Amino acid sequence: MFESLTAIQLARLQFGITAMYHFLFVPLTLGLSLILAIMESVYVMTQKPIWKQMTQFWGLLFGINFAMGVATGITLEFQFGTNWAYYSHYVGDIFGSLLAIEGLMAFFLEATLIGLFFFGWKKLSKQAHLLVTWGLAIATNFSALWILIANAWMQYPVGSTFNVDTLRMELTDFYEVFFNPVAQSKFVHTVSAGYVTGAVFVMAVSSWYLLKKRHVEFAKRSMTVAVSFGLASALSVIVLGDESGYTASQNQKMKLAAMEAMWHTEKAPADLLLFAIPDQEKRENRFEVKIPYLLGIIATRSFSMEIPGITELEALAVSRIKNGQKAYLALQELRKNRKDHAAFEQFEKHKNDLGYGLLLKKYTSDLHHVDEVTIKKAAHDTVPNVIPLFILFRVMVACGFILLAYFLVGFWCSVKRRFTQKRWYLRSSIIILPMPWIAIMSGWMVSEYGRQPWAIEGVLPTFMAASNLDKSSLLISLSVFVIFYSILLVFDLVLLKKYIKVGPDIFLEKEV
């Protein structure tokens, strides 16, 4: 099965699978953390024991999921050193600082607060425990913030520059990295998707209780909180999805063109392609269904700005590769003689295209003698595989609008107090449970797969970022990760199922 894969592809596959397992737990943790804070706030304000019971029960499920998320997330950070050593060396000055802050948030602040949450019910006053719960929700989200800033920097590397002396990317402006426009939209979009996941999870479990006519008052109150929270979150996901599309049109034009299977630049404003069957070899689409002008308006927020197509962007890559070649050769001269002013001027003129020049290293180690065929091969590598991006993007968007409709109906049922009467809606809540994860996984695959061939967009090609590992080592470690994480996933599902079946009454005696 893996014989045809290169070591680079195996390293990418291992990191991707590890990240996907980890992200099965992260969205639910994000969503439940804020729902817990809302429920406990109602408890402190109303003093009604059922709200404390709700906080404790959903908190138990949150804790199970949190533990699994931590266990699966630790190895991701170690993989930067084991599988992506040159990446860590080349951009560690920027990326390492963000991971360090994320680690402090996850393993110190979050861990402390989650301990206080579970063991502080009898030790702290109601108001103090509420502050702990809100602190836990905020810390959970801030932990996600730093890793998303790091990921956004990979998509749009601002606040940094290449150091001629160290031959590394180095941090120049932390403020610019933090307020990276890609990071801001990515953070809110991602955490909002997590909130949707938490809301759908609470809705599904509560619906199961109502169908079984168990814990009815508990379930109805839980659904009331979840449906309002979920509706606001689903709207936020869609709005910030639009913002992500706009930032992609500014910073990752090839990804946007691939997502839309836009082979050639269209007249502004471009049409939005609802459905088609892309043919990457012929660079054309069959059976197109379009909405006139919509893509241009969403992606550029104008009626006159063009969105470049794949063919034109590939031609632009040819010129950037030639400039990058000049920058690389000038850098080699500077390494021999730091006072070579001509080489320095040449490098400064073309340094922004150095990453494109590095694409040639896949085909030759001698950049002094590169023919047009090799340059065109390197330029062709900048075009990602269009078909999976095109499909996955539409899966994500479709799931988002289905979930929005689901919450709108649920909100109406909540206002009319008809949850118990609408058994079809309760059944649909259980059926729809996997949908947030499908949308999230599709979105992450679009984000990461669409960035190829770059580990750092326009700066460091993926093939250069990896460690010098042999295939057998990667296959063994990949197999171990899949087996171990599958076991953890089974444990997580078994524990969740066990305590859902037991229900919230396990906390009733403690209240009495």
Average pLDDT of the residues in 152-162? 92
Percent with pLDDT over 90 in the chain: 59
What pLDDT, on the 0 to 100 scale, is given for residue 510? 45
Task: Give pLDDT tens digits for 436-454.
Answer: 999 999 998 998 888 889 9
Question: What are 161's strand-pairing partners?
Answer: 170
**Cβ atoms within 10 A of the Cβ of 259, count?**
24
Structure token pair of residue 33: 């953390």
Which tens digits make up the pLDDT trace of 209-227? Answer: 999 999 999 999 999 999 9
pLDDT of amino acid 2: 57
Helix (H, G, I), strand (E, B) or coil at 25: helix
Alpha-carbon gap, residue 250 to 238, rounded angstroms: 19
pLDDT digits 0-9 by tens, 399-439: 999 999 999 999 998 888 877 778 899 999 999 999 999 99
Residue 185's pLDDT band, with cuts at 50, 70 and 90, is confident
Find the angle CA(224)-CA(229)-CA(234) to the nearest 5 degrees.
130
User: Residue 354: pLDDT above 60?
Assistant: yes
| Residue 173 token pair | 């402006």
Per-residue confidence at 115, pLDDT binned at 50, 70, 90? very high
* CA pair distance 466, 496, nearest whole angstrom: 37
Average pLDDT, the chain: 90
Round to whole Å and give the CA distance between 166 and 232: 48
Average pLDDT over residues 158-181: 91
Asked whether residue 511 carries a pLDDT value surpassing 70, the answer given is no
277 φ, ψ to 5°?
Answer: -115, 100
Would you give the DSSP letter of residue 268? S
In this prediction the pTM is 0.92
Whole-number percent of the chain with pLDDT over 70: 98
CA distance 427 to 443: 26
pLDDT band, very low/low/confident/very high, at 294 (cuts 50, 70, 90) = confident
Return the pLDDT at 1: 54
The pLDDT of residue 469 is above 90: no
Mean pLDDT of 111-126: 92
Q: Which two tokens stand for residue 381?
A: 């590598």
Strands (E), 63-127: none
Q: What is the pLDDT of residues 324-351, one digit of tens each?
A: 999 999 999 998 888 889 999 999 999 9
Cα separation, 41 vs 48, whole angstroms: 11
Over residues 476-487, mean pLDDT: 89
Name the residue ranges covered by the structural domains of the chain.
7-252+385-506, 266-300, 310-380
Report whether pLDDT(3) > 70. Answer: no
